[in-house]
Structure 1
Amino acid sequence: MPSARGQPLNAAQAERFRQALGLLQSGQREQALSIAKKLAEQAPQAADTWQLLGMCLAEIGRQKQADAAFEHALALLPGNAVVSRNYGMCLARHGKALRAQGRWEAAEPVLRKALALSPKQVSAWVDLGVVLRSLGRIEEALAAFHRAQGMLHQRGVSQPELQDAISGVLADAGRRVEALTNARKLVALHPDYAPAHESLGNLLWEHGAELAPDEDPLGEFRAAAREQPDNRELQLAFARMLLAAKRPDETLALLHPLRRREPGNALLDWFAADALDALRQHEQAAPLYAAAARGELGMLPEFLNARARHAFRTRDFDLAASCAGKAVEIDPDGQEGWSLLGTAWRLAGDEREYWLCDYDRLVGYIEVAAPPGFSDVSAFLQRLAARLHTMHNAGREPVNQSVRGGTQTAGQLFGRDDAVVRAAEHALRTAVEQWLATLPDDVDHPFLSRRQRSVRFAGSWSVRLTSSGRHSNHIHPKGWASSAFYVALPDSVLESDSESCAGWIQFGQPLEDLGLDLLPRRVIRPRPGYLALFPSYMWHGTVPFEARESRLTIAFDMQPKT
């Protein structure tokens, strides 16, 4: 590392400095920190010692103290390029970690400061773009990605991950033609890059009816899989897409040569078991699940939940409870594990189902007040509905969501530079915080024990259902609490009764393809301007309705704001 001194180190101190750097680079962080602290005491006017201390503190996760040490180094040598670059790189690593934790609001200022200090960090520009996209700030995200793209172009480097992200942001912005063009270009340039084929397939699935009416949305992906039989990542990605698109027969055909080449591969067995289960060939699926469970997959919550679903389909409720129980033991915040465990408790007549779900206490249904700038709720909903309708530009629902007979907006809804959407976000957050204040404390409860005074939005979108549309019963694996805010409803829904329940939201009825004959525990008639709130692990869906008008909602997932 180049030297940057306010005061030079003597020969012995310089040797200790180099020793600490070597220890830090070899992973011996505490030993390096001990030397850095002593050097800072011995040479308090040497900028080198303070930036070394900052690097050591950052490596062990003491970021505030690391920032203070780097700021002290910069005070000794204002504007020094070496100190700025090293500080910027440490901040960029911290920002990346915050991004990985989903702490987007905290990550943004860290990454911006990192780039102000060291603007040539391509990866930090990419991380900033990801964070801004997650915050719903689409144009800013696109600008950050284009900044990174320009720097890579100057270096003669092509990064498919970045190009793929740009396709996604263009789709979020409603620039569908550009998104599709960019996705096709990426597939042509990097035909072996599986995520590019997934992105193209998803774009064609939702928008192909209008933009490419004669094209099979999975055709390009299928052709690539056939042409690259040894590209394992591509083969598995296509298998996942086929399962999501409910094409289990084709999934099995795709997996057959892979499983013949890798007999006993637990991951391939799992994929095959899922496909067989979808075909209701449960007896053939069972030994594959059992074999896969004996290896590392047996400790993976995602696999345990898949096996629990299979166990419900085969009426092996003890196995379902065992798998789901193990899943929540491994991942106590995992929403799917709790949903399946609650279902097992219900089938067993276990009172813990009510403790977990408590449909009366844990399902909130509240009226949302008109935000500032609107005369009343009706005026607010009218403006909001008009804006949301312009954002529903897909031809069909996403490939792997609960929507049936409707569309879902792309990307994050909240955070966009739109006055009425910002007003909705503010009003809904206020309503959520009021609801949170009414919930009881329970340190042993997987939902109530995590309650805070406010939330951060982990995802936000709008759904527009058309006649005969519905949400299949589902949960929200990325949330802690979830929601449905009713913006506009057809007359047939407003006038429906408790016998038909057309367009109503229902709670407690499990995923349909589990084959369980269980009725909803609670059903609520939606009303414009009202917000339903509930734990993300709680099964919920909607009853189909018939109408000329659409059923328009906003939904969002939340995590506790600590």
Structure 2
Amino acid sequence: MQIADALRLAIQHFNAGRAVDGTDICARILDLHPANPAANVLLARQALRDGDRATARRHVDTALAEAADYPAAHELDARLKAEDETADPNTAERAYRRTLTLAPGQWAPWYDGGNLHQARRDDPAAAVPFYRRALTLAPDEIPPAMNLATAQLKLGDAEAALNACAHTRARDPNHIRALALETAALYDLGRADEADRLVGWGGLTRAVELPQPDGYPDIAAFNHAFAAAIRRHPNRRDDWDPSKRAIRGGAVVTDLLAMDDPAIRGFGRALDSALRAYVRALPADAEHPHVAATPARWALDVWANILGADDHQTGHIHNLGWLSGVYYVAMPGGVRADDPEQQGWIEFNRPGYGIPHRGGATLRTLFPAAGMAALFPSYVWHRTIPFTGTGERISVAFDLHPR
């Protein structure tokens, strides 16, 4: 097989999600031609998807040494420099300018350049023209529309942000981030009734009690055993990546249900029962995006958060879910139902990700009573109000993913 044909086949594999097959073909190409720019770029992209920045850097450098003006290699070079928080942002900006000079008609460098201004330079105004240019070149691409809407909300241009959300929802009516940003824009525009309908407080967003798992005299005994299982879980991590999670401080337990433990198994069964009851109780409202997207089948992603004093979760949404929620296992003494400051409570509708709350949102709170779960559409903004004092706040978060 000729190298050009092998590269086409490798690209087909990568595009179809067959990374192992694509990587294998590229490796064989490099056995024959170690400096092949295209194969090195394909492997660099896969390394970035795998979180291996060092390998990506090595392949990019090899590609550029062989082909100094190869646009795809310059695009990855700029992205690596932009994502390196220890590097000077000016270095990344020069790399993007070089990429755009070589390939002005490609949308991705414009999008990445916008991200550099918005994320690294905290300059959403400078990012806007980059996102607009990306959308001009690729109108069906959703990421630049969503980051454009975010920048416009930061700048106070809610009407423009709403237009960007409509642009996305015309292509994906139930897009989670578009619905979240649309909610924030509607609140900013004084259209609280429309935003509140999306949130569905008391119906789509509500507190529920999970069925008590068998084998325990009461819910307090179950939660005591459940908390102990969470604390000793082998997946407990104190060194999580803050760019990928909303938690600030504390510890995370990923893939919670993977541990074979009676309390964890009991929780899994109780959660499944509560989720099925939620779906059965949904109103017959085909015009509501959350209801319209109700899945017939789903998978669950479940993890635990262990917070101490001053730890909290910033405002966020769950991009990959349809329905999300949190079950409260244990609360420290300082988190009280009669606390006027509502320390440790969960708050809804205040936007996150650097989007300011301009006073128009209908803020809602729930006291996180041990044994209670809060359920909400995955696009609903939520955060944990920080608390002081001693003790641990243990909760279990989950996403229901359509499949």
TM range (shorter): 0.7 to 0.9
Aligned to 1:239: 79
Aligned to 2:335: 493
Identity score, percent? 22
Aligned to 2:13: none
Aligned to 1:400: 244
Aligned to 1:280: 122
Distance 1:355 1:191, change over 3 A: closer
Q: Which has a greater percent of helix?
A: 1
How do residues 160-239 of structure 1 correspond to structure 2 at under 5 angstroms? Answer: 192-196=43-47, 199=50, 229=64, 232=72, 236=76, 239=79
Aligned to 1:261: 102
Equivalent residues, number: 364
Contact 1:194–1:237 (8 Å) recurs in 2: no
In the TM superposition, residue 302 of structure 1 has moved relative to its aligned partner by: 2.4
Aligned match for 1:409, one of 231, 241, 253: 253
Contact 1:406–1:465 (8 Å) recurs in 2: yes
Other structure's SS at 1:468 match = coil
Aligned to 1:421: 264
In the TM superposition, residue 238 of structure 1 has moved relative to its aligned partner by: 8.0
Aligned match for 2:151, one of 310, 323, 331: 310
Aligned match for 1:554, one of 374, 391, 396: 396
Aligned match for 1:379, one of 205, 210, 221: 221
Other structure's SS at 2:151 match = helix
In the TM superposition, residue 394 of structure 1 has moved relative to its aligned partner by: 2.4
Distance 1:228 1:315, change over 3 A: same
User: Match for 2:252: what amino acid?
Assistant: Q
TM-score, structure 2 normalization: 0.78
Other structure's SS at 1:514 match = coil
How do residues 481-520 of structure 1 correspond to structure 2 at under 5 angstroms? Answer: 481-494=323-336, 497-498=339-340, 500-518=341-359
Other structure's SS at 1:302 match = helix
Distance 1:221 1:419, change over 3 A: farther
Distance 1:449 1:284, change over 3 A: closer
CA distance in 2, matches of 1:219, 1:438: 50
CA distance in 1, matches of 2:95, 2:329: 43
User: Match for 2:203: what amino acid?
Assistant: R
Aligned to 2:35: none
CA distance in 1, matches of 2:329, 2:25: 39
Distance 1:541 1:483, change over 3 A: same
In the TM superposition, residue 442 of structure 1 has moved relative to its aligned partner by: 0.8
1:448 aligns with 2:288: no
Aligned to 1:338: 179
1:472 aligns with 2:314: yes
CA distance in 2, matches of 1:244, 1:455: 39
In the TM superposition, residue 339 of structure 1 has moved relative to its aligned partner by: 1.1
Distance 1:451 1:196, change over 3 A: closer
Distance 1:319 1:195, change over 3 A: same
In the TM superposition, residue 431 of structure 1 has moved relative to its aligned partner by: 2.0
Query: Who wins on radius of gyration, i.e. which is larger?
Result: 1
CA distance in 1, matches of 2:81, 2:291: 35
Distance 1:541 1:160, change over 3 A: farther
Contact 1:474–1:540 (8 Å) recurs in 2: yes
Contact 1:505–1:543 (8 Å) recurs in 2: yes
Gaps of 5+ in 1: 1-98, 101-122, 127-148, 162-188, 202-217
CA distance in 2, matches of 1:260, 1:331: 32
Aligned-residue RMSD, C-alpha: 3.6
Contact 2:324–2:377 (8 Å) recurs in 1: yes
User: Match for 1:443: what amino acid?
Assistant: A
Deviations 1:302-352 (A, max 9, x none): 221111111112222221111101211210121111111122222222231
Contact 1:457–1:556 (8 Å) recurs in 2: no
Distance 1:318 1:477, change over 3 A: same
TM-score, structure 1 normalization: 0.57
User: Match for 2:366: what amino acid?
Assistant: I
Distance 1:274 1:197, change over 3 A: closer
Distance 1:219 1:545, change over 3 A: farther
Other structure's SS at 1:492 match = coil
In the TM superposition, residue 195 of structure 1 has moved relative to its aligned partner by: 3.7
CA distance in 1, matches of 2:301, 2:78: 25
CA distance in 2, matches of 1:265, 1:377: 57
In the TM superposition, residue 254 of structure 1 has moved relative to its aligned partner by: 4.9
CA distance in 2, matches of 1:358, 1:549: 33
Deviations 1:129-150 (A, max 9, x none): xxxxxxxxxxxxxxxxxxxx9x
Aligned to 1:5: none
Contact 1:405–1:467 (8 Å) recurs in 2: no
